[in-house]
A and B are shown apart, each in its own frame.
Chain A
Amino acid sequence: MKNSPTVDEQLDMLGRMVAVRHLEERLGELHKAGKTRGPIHRCDGQEAVGIGATAMLDDEDLLTSTHRGHAHYVGKGVGLHPIVAEILGRATGACAGRAGHMLIADVKKGLLGGNAIVGGGIPAATGFAVSLQMKNRADGGQRVAMCIFGDGAAQTGICHESMNIAALWKLPVIFVLEHNQYGLTAHHSTQSSVPDLSVRAAGYGMPSEIVDGNDVIAVHRAVGAAVERARRGEGPSLIEAKTYRMVGFSTSDVGGYQKDEDLATWRERDPIVLARAMLADAVPAERLDAVMAAARAEVDAAVEQALGDPLPVFAEHAPSAPYTVAGA
């Protein structure tokens, strides 16, 4: 099947999904132990979207993420240690402790970046796509921008503005809607006039597809096709990946609004369980165990190392200062 990942690619995605899950679990513990600051937005159960959608991107392709972006960060190739160290506020973090877990960026890996203004990543990716389109035309490159955003962000005005402009200018951008059913505590049925947001793409003359967001291979196939279309210069696409947020909005969420039966249903469709099952015929169980154990060990090592790393020291930032002059 077109855009299907190879077995090695599947193993790689499985490892990354396990790493993300273990990262979220470790962060939950660290948060409870008071080792992190502020709320942490975990993506347990949504790993297949972030990992599957980014697997075919290169470092020169630019990704914008959300406040719930750990799977996106790991999928785009940012190292576990810089991520963990950033979340622990260390000088060795991806942004030297200035960003925190919602705003991580890594230019070398093309992650630009987390964004905690809901919907903020959508025009951001559209803007990237303008520059990339001009660069591609100048040098024959095939760079693309991708925006992973949620069903809450889909209700913003900038989502509409961005999709219109992207389609109008045939920009090389892929809109990946990670539909986890909830905007903070509000179910999408209370926020959207239509259950399937992908129907809106027709309004921009933009192709769209709905995909099982807990099936990493399905996500990979659908997004892969959209990426290829963008690389060919044919413009943007919208992929709506249906998934479910298995944890609260953040570590400060007291819960009570998600139905037990929904949680049970989606738990049975755990993306990691599904991804492993899809490899069962091709790969011996011992190898799968080893891949998953290695992923967890990598997270543990990153946490261990980051906990011992130094905290940053405040430094002036000339471009922010009101009383300095350009170039001085």
Chain B
Amino acid sequence: MAMMRYAEALRSALREEMQRDPSVWLMGEDIAVYGGVFKVSKDLMAEFGPERVRDTPISEQTLTAMAVTAAMSGTRPVLEIMYADFLPLSVDALMNQASIYNYIWNGQVTMPFVLRTQGGGGAGAGAQHSKSLDALVAHIPGLKVVAPATAADAKGLLKAAIRDDHPVIFLEHKLLYNTRDEVPDGDHLVEIGKARIARVGSDVSIIASSKMVVDALKAADELAKEGISAEVIDLRTLRPLDRETIKASIARTHHAVVVNEGWCFCGYAAELSATIMESCFDDLDAPVERVATHDIPIPYSEPLESTVLPDANKIAAAARRALA
């Protein structure tokens, strides 16, 4: 085990996979010479050269479409989209191209590419650089969507994503890059599609992903002081969703709080809520509580931004409502 920052864990995953497989290459804006605006790909161009670590023009729509077809024709691109807020530019390539070909072409092609991006608020980056667009990509059949909350999962999931033969959208969070935790040594892989119990509890299940797991754990600490035992599920993968872990948890706790940093209306938390209603209805002792971002552009000033974003206090309050 080694203590590692989230960003370092990602870099170590990229480096190991590029060393292991010469068909893996990276492209994105400012990722090569500068090493990425969040320094995830720092030093990799020096190690692997400018053909495998490519700076690109600011052309997200085309770059995403290129990743799709490059992946069909013998290489494994890892595309960095600097901010999740730019994902709408990628959506045609994801929704009309990547998502369809394996099925529509009757299995003639696979598309082993990874689209890495980072989202999330709390950094005062304003309405075009703070969004969590999990629902936008998790809506699309044929894509896998992962959103690690810890350095260990960041590394293990990125390595698994690069090895996956289907498109994987890899959602990072800007406020997690500097968080540290233990990362297992060696060829550490985390299976896509498997959630993790981040904290065991018996009274209420808090289901979250990415940075919201950090907030959920803080909320669980607060709730524990009140005698409430909260279980925190870190989904890790948003699509395909690990229903079984959710079901098993709610069968024990009978109360659910679903959390997502995206907008509330038609958001990922709504999908979680629907899933729970479909598969855990008879186990529920209270309505599912939903915590998500206000349906409004994310404002700049601190008191405004903190009002609209979910946090530990809002999660704890939701848990209390569920248990009322």
Contact = CB atoms under 8 A, between A and B. Distances in A.
Contacts of A325: 191-194, 240, 242
Most B-side CB within 10 Å, residue of A112, A127, A168: A127
24 contacts: A95-B105, A98-B106, A99-B106, A123-B61, A123-B65, A125-B69, A126-B65, A126-B66, A127-B65, A127-B66, A127-B67, A128-B73, A130-B75, A131-B69, A131-B71, A131-B75, A135-B75, A158-B65, A168-B57, A317-B142, A320-B99, A323-B241, A323-B243, A325-B191
B101 interface: yes
A101 B220 CA distance: 55
Contacts of A124: 65-66, 68-69, 97
B222 interface: no
Interface residues of B, number: 52
Contacts of A317: 102-103, 141-142
A120 B65 contact: yes
A146 to B, nearest CB: 13
Contacts of A120: 65, 92, 96-97
Interface in B260-281: none
Contact of A98 (B22, B72, B104): B104
Interface in A157-197: 157-158, 161-162, 164-165, 168-169
Nearest to A132: B73
A134 B65 contact: no
Given A123-B93, A130-B66, A325-B191, A99 B56 contact: no
A256 interface: no
A326 B146 CA distance: 12
B105 A161 contact: no
Nearest to B68: A127
The 8 residue pairs across chains A and B that have the minimum distance between CB atoms: A127-B66, A325-B193, A127-B69, A123-B65, A161-B62, A161-B59, A320-B141, A131-B73
Most B-side CB within 10 Å, residue of A107, A122, A319: A319
Interface string A93-107: 001101100010111
Given A95-B105, A95-B106, A112-B109, A62 B73 contact: yes
A265 interface: no
Given A131-B69, A320-B142, A322-B239, 17 more contacts: A105-B104, A107-B105, A107-B108, A120-B92, A123-B61, A126-B66, A127-B70, A128-B69, A130-B66, A135-B73, A161-B63, A162-B66, A165-B59, A319-B142, A321-B240, A322-B141, A326-B164
A271 interface: no
Interface of A: 62, 64, 95-96, 98-99, 103, 105-107, 112-113, 115, 117, 120, 122-128, 130-132, 134-135, 137-138, 157-158, 161-162, 164-165, 168-169, 317, 319-328
Interface string B78-121: 00000000000000110011011111111011000000000000
Contacts of A62: 69, 73
Contacts of B93: 123
B51 interface: yes
B297 interface: no
B108 A106 contact: yes
A319 B241 CA distance: 13
B278 to A, nearest CB: 11
B56 A165 contact: yes
B59 A96 contact: no
Contact of B59 (A99, A164, A323): A164
A95 B104 contact: yes
Interface string B183-195: 0000000011110
Contacts, number: 156
A131 to B, nearest CB: 4
Given A325-B192, A325-B240, A126 B62 contact: yes
Contact of B240 (A103, A157, A162, A323): A323
B269 to A, nearest CB: 16
B228 interface: no
A131 B70 contact: yes
Given A98-B105, A117-B92, A124-B97, A322 B240 contact: yes
A33 to B, nearest CB: 26
A306 to B, nearest CB: 16
B58 to A, nearest CB: 9
